[in-house]
Structure 1
Amino acid sequence: MKFVVDTHSHTISSGHAYSTVLENAAAAAEKGLQLLCVTDHASSMPGAPHFWHFANQRILPRFLHGVGILRGVEANIMNVAGEIDISTKVQGHLDWVLASFHEPVFAPSSSAVHTEALLNVIQSGRVDALGHLGNPNFDFDFERVLVAAAEANVLVEINNSSLSGSRMGSQPRCERIAEIGKEVGVSFTTGSDAHFAHDIGKFDSALALFEKVNIDEDSIVSTSASRFIEFLQSRGHASIAEFQSLR
C-alpha cells in the first residue's frame, strides 16, 4: 500500500510550523507524492493566519515541483453547535476543508459534548474530513460519529503525527476508530500533519495501523490521486482542470 496524497500539512503561516509552501512541495516531490493539501490552521488558533491568507490561496500554482497543490484549511471546531472558523465566502475558494478539535479553541469537555459537536459539524455539510480524532483529550462516542461520517461522505483522518507521539494515548484509540470505521463503511485519509518539511509524506505509523486493522486500500482515498479527486467532486467541489490527467 502506498499513499500519494498528503491531506494535512502546515506552513510557517500557522505560527508554530517552520517551512514554506515551496519547501513542503519540494519535500512532497522527494517522497513521490502526487498531491499535497495546504492546511494551515484557521484564525481562531493562536498564531494562525487571518482571513486573507485563505482567501488569497487562489494565487498558488496548481503544481509546485511537479506536485499538485490543493488549497485548504484545518478549521477549528468551535462549539457544540459544530461551527467552524472559516467563512462560507472564503470556503468557496478552497478545495479541501479539514476540521479538528484543538485545546486552545475548544476546551476539552465530556464525551457527550464532544460527540454532539462532531455530529453537528458532520451534519453541517461544511467539512470534508475530521482530523486527529484519536486525541484522548476529546473522547466521543466512536460508533455514533463514525456511522454519521460514513452516511454523510465525510472522511476520517488517521493522523501520522498523533501515532508518532504528538498526542500521547492516541494509538489504541486510532486502532479502535479504524476497526469501527471499517465495520460501518467509513472512508479514510492520511495526514502527516507535518509542521516541518522533513515530515511531509511521512505515513509509516499510519501504514502500520492500516495493515494491522486490515483496512482495504480502496477505503483510503489518499492511495490514489484520481480517487482523492473523485472524492472531492462527490463532495460538490469544483473540478480542477489541471488535475484531470492524474491517476
Structure 2
Amino acid sequence: MILTYLADIHTHSIASGHGTSCTISDMAKEAGRKGMKLLGITDHGPGTLASGTSSYFRGLPFCPRKRFGVEVLYGVELNILDIQGHVDLSDELLSNLDYAIISMHGQNYRSGTVKENTLAYQNAMKYPAVKVLGHCDNPAFPVDYDALAYTASRENVIFEINEVSLTPGGYRGDTRANNAEILRCCLKYQLPIVLSSDSHGKEHVGDFTYAAEFVHQTGFPESLILNNQIPRLKVFLQTR
C-alpha cells in the first residue's frame, strides 16, 4: 500500500509563468482540500523566462504563513548557470527565503561532461539556502550520482524524486534508471529524500502517484522519506 503524503515542497504558482494562472492562495486552498499540512512554493528564479523578479522574492517573507489550514513555506527553484555553480538570485534574497532547490534547465545551463555537470551541482550546494537537488534525474544533464550523494550528505542537502520525471511520456524521457541510481546512493549514505510534485498550478499539488510507486517498488525505506515527517523536514530545511 502506498501512503498518502502530507507535504509537497516543490510547487509553482503564476509567478513561474509557464501558462499557469494559479496564485499562492489557489495552491494552498487546493492543498488544504487534499488534506495536506505543509506546502512549499518554489517559483523559478529570475533566469527563467517570465518568472518571478527579484522584487517578488524580496516580498515573499512577508506573506502569510498559514492559508486555508495549510502551513506555507516560501522558497525558490534556482537555475544553475555555470560549472562554478552560480545561481540566479542574490545571497541577500536567498538568506530571507525558507530554502532553495537547485536545478539545471537548458535555457540557463549548457550541459557538459558528467564531471562538469557534477561539479556544477556540487558548487551550487555550497549556498547555505540550498537544501534540495531538483530533478537531477534528467538524462540531458548526466552526473555522477555517487559523488553528488556524498557531497549532499556533507552539505545537508537532499535529492528529490520528481513526479513529472516519472510520469509516463514525460518530456524528460525515461528517467527510471537514473532515479534507481539516486535511491541506491541515498541508501548507501543514509541520505533522506523528498517526493516532489513539481506542480505548475494547483492540479497536481501533492500528487506523487508515479514517484511514490517507483520508490516503494525499489524497497526504499519509509524512514528516509521526509514528506510525512513534517517536524523533521522543517528542521532540515531551516538548518544552514
TM-score when scaled to structure 1? Answer: 0.91
CA contact (8 A) 2:98 2:129 kept: no
Separation in 2, partners of 1:99, 1:162: 16
Residue 149 of structure 2: which of 146, 149, 154 is its match? 146
Matched, 1:163 2:166: yes
Report matched runs for 1:30-49 at 5 Å: 30-49=33-52
Name the residue aligned to 1:240. Answer: none
Matched, 1:208 2:210: no
Matched, 1:3 2:5: yes
CA contact (8 A) 1:129 1:156 kept: yes
> Which letter maps to 1:3?
Y
Name the residue aligned to 1:74. Answer: 77
Matched, 1:14 2:16: yes
CA contact (8 A) 1:44 1:105 kept: yes
| Partner SS, residue 197 of structure 1 | coil
CA contact (8 A) 2:95 2:129 kept: no
Residue 104 of structure 2: which of 91, 101, 104 is its match? 101
> Which letter maps to 2:219?
N
| 5+ long unaligned stretches in structure 2 | none
Q: 1:22 to 1:57 in 2, by over 3 A?
A: same
Matched, 1:62 2:69: no
Q: 1:96 to 1:125 in 2, by over 3 A?
A: closer
Q: 1:169 to 1:48 in 2, by over 3 A?
A: same
CA contact (8 A) 1:39 1:72 kept: yes
Deviations 1:182-216, CA, capped at 9 Å, x for gaps? 11222111210001211000001111121012222
Separation in 2, partners of 1:166, 1:202: 18
TM-score when scaled to structure 2? Answer: 0.93
Q: 1:225 to 1:126 in 2, by over 3 A?
A: closer
Q: State the percentage of identical aligned residues.
A: 29
CA contact (8 A) 1:194 1:200 kept: yes
Separation in 2, partners of 1:100, 1:197: 21
